[in-house]
Structure 1
Amino acid sequence: MFAAPAFAMLAVFFLTPTAYNFVYAFTDWSSFKSAISPVGLDNFTELAASGALRKALTITLVYAAGVAVFQNLFGMGLALLLERDTRLNRLLRVVFFIPVIISALAAGYIFQALLKPDGGVNQLLSVLSGTPVHTAWLGSTKWTILVVILIHSWKWMGMSMLVYLAGLKTIDSQVLEAARIDGASPWQTLLRIRIPLIAPAVTFNVATALLGSMNSFDIVQATTGGGPGSSTELLNLFIFRTFGQGLYAQATTMSLVLFLAVVFLAFPVIGMLRRRERNMT
């Protein structure tokens, strides 16, 4: 009975729209028609023939994979550096967690201003090098995707850091002492003992990074708007643009494709990590 209001809210604002998403994907719903008619799989076949959808889906998968790698590398590195409970480390943990609580749109606009040809990054590089620097950090159709991946990873690395810190704190110091007495180097201790013992933290961080980045919108919208030349147009940006054109059924179909991509790509990766986690522990 106490949970009933929560389930009611969930049903109204999540389950019902999700169910309608499956329905409208098979219709011709748009702002150009007064009636909605079923069209079967026509939306899916048209989108499958469109190179734009395949490109947006590919960019989304590359983006998600890059974020999963860099966000966890940054988070793990910070956790190892700030593991000791000193006053300075506690302060630095707070500093590195601040980006997590900053609005993603605000962070995106800040980096968009910093990375302009006349922005703060190039001004700093000009001072350090002694020569004018006018690099267009967000102007390359090849490398801009890496820039936004790093921005997303920077935004959420504080969360990964906290999860890894919590995992590292659960390791018995006697296990590490035994490894040191047996002659294990710090690198061997990290790879053979510490990382296997925090396997649940790795699984959680990879899962949240994958699911979060595959549904990303705000950071890329604020920094590049999907450009240059649609090289950073994630599927959510493509859906947003299509919906804004009044093509509601096509946008709904794309959101269903994104849902299926998460189900058939992200969840198997999470399952693999869970099996690896059980084998390690």
Structure 2
Amino acid sequence: MWFLVPAFAILLVFFVLPTLFNFVYAFTDWSGFKSEINPVGFDNFADLASNGTLFSALRITVVYAALVAVFQNLFGFALAVLLERDTRLNRVARVFFLIPVLMSALAVGYLFQALLKPDGGVNQLISAVARQPFDYAWLADTTWSIVVVALIHSWKWMGLSMLIYLAGLKTIPEDVMEAARIDGASRWRTFWAVRSPLLAPAVTFNVATALLGSMNGFDIVQATTGGGPARTTEILNIFIYRTFGQGLFAQATTMSLVLFLLVALMAFPVIHLLRKREEIL
């Protein structure tokens, strides 16, 4: 137990206490423009509620989290199925798909920002294939930029989802598969009726991590669009970052408290439903 004391001390100083102070400062007028800090009750929440920017950031955060959860799990599941067999080529491919997970999120964001410019590598490749000029601004479209950024986020983390799905596929009992084959089930029927339901714990883990990770996302969005164009990718953490940078510390802590409540209200019910699904399956 004594060996745990330093770890708990660090956790207390750098996580528990800042979290508690975050709850306290959300109900004050703390800012960079005056030295005194006075309690204001729920005034910060009322001001933010009257400002449509907060609700816009909340809506964008929810859309972004949902897109990432769908894309990341689709990509990870597809890769796990394609690379399930233990061949030398598949082992090498698994390593390559895990490399983005180990990369810095900011590096990934800046890399895709360069590739997706009007004169970037993606447009040049499309122009070479189509044999005509193509200069689409992937990160400047107010309709599709949120989808593009969600795809980038999913690309970075799909290797982790692939690894979890691979572990789930490898732990399926062979006697269950043999029983399905004896009963005359086709390969396709066996996959969807037997193997897929047994992956329920892997689905729960991957959906939960994708939701929590994307709702707390910041670096990839900041590196690619910075919240633009026209704030269409301004998720809540980008909004908090900008507000804190303006010296409005109390409003920023209030927003972070709202983000905490949003995560609790959105992620935990989803995890509960997925756990119930596991029990049914």
* Shorter-normalised TM range: over 0.9
Partner of 1:2: 3
Q: Determine whether 1:149 maps to 2:142.
A: no
| Deviation of 1:2 (Å) | 2.1
Q: Determine whether 1:197 maps to 2:201.
A: no
| Deviation of 1:115 (Å) | 0.3
Question: Whole-Å Cα distance in 2 between the matches of residues 123 and 62 of structure 1?
Answer: 30
Amino acid paired to 2:38: S
TM-score (norm 2): 0.98
- Listed one character per residue, the Cα deviations across residues 78-120 of structure 1 (whole Å, up to 9, x for unaligned) are 0000000000000000011000001000000000000000000
TM-score (norm 1): 0.98
What is the total number of aligned residue pairs between the two structures? Answer: 280
| Deviation of 1:222 (Å) | 0.4
Deviates further, 174-183 or 146-155: 174-183
| CA root-mean-square deviation | 0.9
Partner of 2:30: 29
- Listed one character per residue, the Cα deviations across residues 18-70 of structure 1 (whole Å, up to 9, x for unaligned) are 00000000000001111000000000000011100000000000000111111
Question: Whole-Å Cα distance in 1 between the matches of residues 187 and 107 of structure 2?
Answer: 39
| Deviation of 1:193 (Å) | 1.2
Give 4+ residue runs of structure 1 displaced > 6 Å after superposition. none
| Deviation of 1:195 (Å) | 1.8
Question: Whole-Å Cα distance in 2 between the matches of residues 128 and 200 of structure 1?
Answer: 42
| Deviation of 1:184 (Å) | 2.2
| Deviation of 1:187 (Å) | 3.1
Question: What pairs up with 1:41-52 in 2 under 5 angstroms?
Answer: 41-52=42-53
Look up the SS of the partner of 1:39 in the other structure: coil
Partner of 1:179: 180
Gap runs ≥5 in structure 2: none
Question: Whole-Å Cα distance in 2 between the matches of residues 128 and 33 of structure 1?
Answer: 59
| Deviation of 1:179 (Å) | 1.5
Question: Whole-Å Cα distance in 1 between the matches of residues 275 and 269 of structure 2?
Answer: 10
| Deviation of 1:6 (Å) | 1.2
Question: What pairs up with 1:175-254 in 2 under 5 angstroms?
Answer: 175-254=176-255
Gap runs ≥5 in structure 1: none
- Listed one character per residue, the Cα deviations across residues 152-176 of structure 1 (whole Å, up to 9, x for unaligned) are 0000000000011111100122222
- Listed one character per residue, the Cα deviations across residues 115-137 of structure 1 (whole Å, up to 9, x for unaligned) are 00000000001111110101111
| Deviation of 1:196 (Å) | 1.5
- Listed one character per residue, the Cα deviations across residues 181-200 of structure 1 (whole Å, up to 9, x for unaligned) are 32323332222211211211
Q: Determine whether 1:159 maps to 2:142.
A: no
Question: What pairs up with 1:102-141 in 2 under 5 angstroms?
Answer: 102-141=103-142
Partner of 1:257: 258
Partner of 1:87: 88
Question: Whole-Å Cα distance in 2 between the matches of residues 181 and 93 of structure 1?
Answer: 32
| Deviation of 1:7 (Å) | 1.1
Question: Whole-Å Cα distance in 2 between the matches of residues 108 and 93 of structure 1?
Answer: 22
Question: Whole-Å Cα distance in 1 between the matches of residues 34 and 190 of structure 2?
Answer: 65
